[in-house]
Amino acid sequence: MRVGIVGSGFVGATAGYALVMQGVGRELVLVDKNAARAEAEADDIRHAVPFAHPLEVRSGDYDALAGCRVVLICAGVGQKPGETRLQLLQRNAMVFHKVVPAVLASAPEAVLVIATNPVDVMTHLAAHYAAKCGVPAGRVLGSGTTLDTARFRSLLGRHGGIDPQHIHAHVIGEHGDSEVLTWSLVTVAGMPLESFTKLRGIDLTEEKKREIDRQVRHAAYTIISGKTATYYGIGSALARIVKVILHDQRAVMTVCLPTKEVAGVADVTLSLPRLVGGAGVLETFPLPLSEQENSQLHESARVIRQALDELGDNS
């Protein structure tokens, strides 16, 4: 099973490394406009193979993507300190005009997973360009709030003293400042969060909730200010998405996808819990949100739709 990665910067290379560490796929191909960078990253990742799983790792041009089941698109310029994801839009939009058709020319049957920020807008654009190449809806998805959801569960797990894998908690909406933490729906071992904390004698005050919300919402800014970029978390998230697709695992993930209507906003791409399998997104699950959360989701959808309108994309 061949996996392609377009864009061999921090995120693309780390995703490749995570794929090797997790043993996802059988062959990994790195593509970058800087061919020397792609070759160097492929060599470096290949040297980790003897300590992990038997994957073939190489670099190449777009034609090397032929036969790929999944292609990660991480191409684009990086986020600067203090720059919001939506401010990246104009600088990254033009990149996709060339990248998406080039990928599909070589790998027309691949599922495309978008990681380039602002990921909601970039996924919307990628799906638009892919549709012109005959790619059906659902086969182009973005990493969305997969990482934000992991951050939310991680912080809840730390506070509650429990493995976050046993926590169901979703972050939905924009992968960015307007994202929505669905506090009203959090469960731990099948119990509502309030019941779990009461049983365990854990004090989860409104102040603590606000602090967790702040840490989730502003995690990227904090990391970027300290080390200029985020890549370990998102690299691992991308590897997980690829694994789910390659093995048709039918996992529920908060990936982003073009959606006809969300919270009263038409034709917008954002994250909701979605069933992901071998063909991409198979289903979207509506959530019984609180009135406040639904209002927040409307605002998040409006922010993304406004960005698309400013770009002049009314598709």
* pLDDT tens per residue across span 171-204: 999 999 999 999 999 999 999 999 999 999 999 9
* Residue 259 reports pLDDT greater than 50: yes
Angle at 238 between CA 176 and CA 254, to 5 degrees: 50
CA distances from 83 to 75, 158, 305 (A): 18, 29, 19
User: Which of the four pLDDT bands, split at 50, 70 and 90, describes residue 78?
Assistant: low
Contacts of 264 (CB under 8 A, 6+ apart): 298, 301
As a whole number, mean pLDDT of residues 207-212 equals 96
Q: Which residues fall within 8 angstroms of residue 29, CB to CB, at 6 or more apart? A: 2, 3, 4, 5, 58, 59, 60, 64, 65, 68
Residue 238 has pLDDT above 60, yes or no: yes
pLDDT tens sequence across 116-130: 988 999 999 999 999
Closest CA to 233 of 313, 143, 300: 143
pLDDT at 314: 41
pLDDT value at position 86?
63
Name the percent of the chain lying above pLDDT 90: 89
The catalytic position among 175, 218, 247, 298 is 175
**pLDDT above 60 for 40:** yes
Q: Which domains does the chain have, with CATH numbers?
A: 2-142 (3.40.50.720), 146-311 (3.90.110.10)
Give the β-pairing of 191-192 and 187-188.
Answer: antiparallel
Mean residue pLDDT of the chain comes to 94
Q: Burial code of 193-231, b = ≥16 C-beta within 10 A, e = fewer?
A: beebbeeeeeebeeeeeeebbeebbebbbeebeeeebbb
Taking the C-alpha atoms of residue 315 and residue 140, their distance in angstroms, rounded to an integer, is 16
Supply the angle between the helices 291-311 and 89-106 in degrees, to the nearest 10.
Answer: 80
Q: What is the pLDDT of residue 79?
A: 67
Taking the alpha carbons at both ends of the chain, their separation in whole angstroms is: 34
pLDDT at 187: 98
Instruction: Report the distance separating Cα 281 and Cα 294, nearest Å.
Output: 23
pTM: 0.94
Q: What's the pLDDT score for residue 315?
A: 41
The verdict on whether 175 is a catalytic residue reads yes
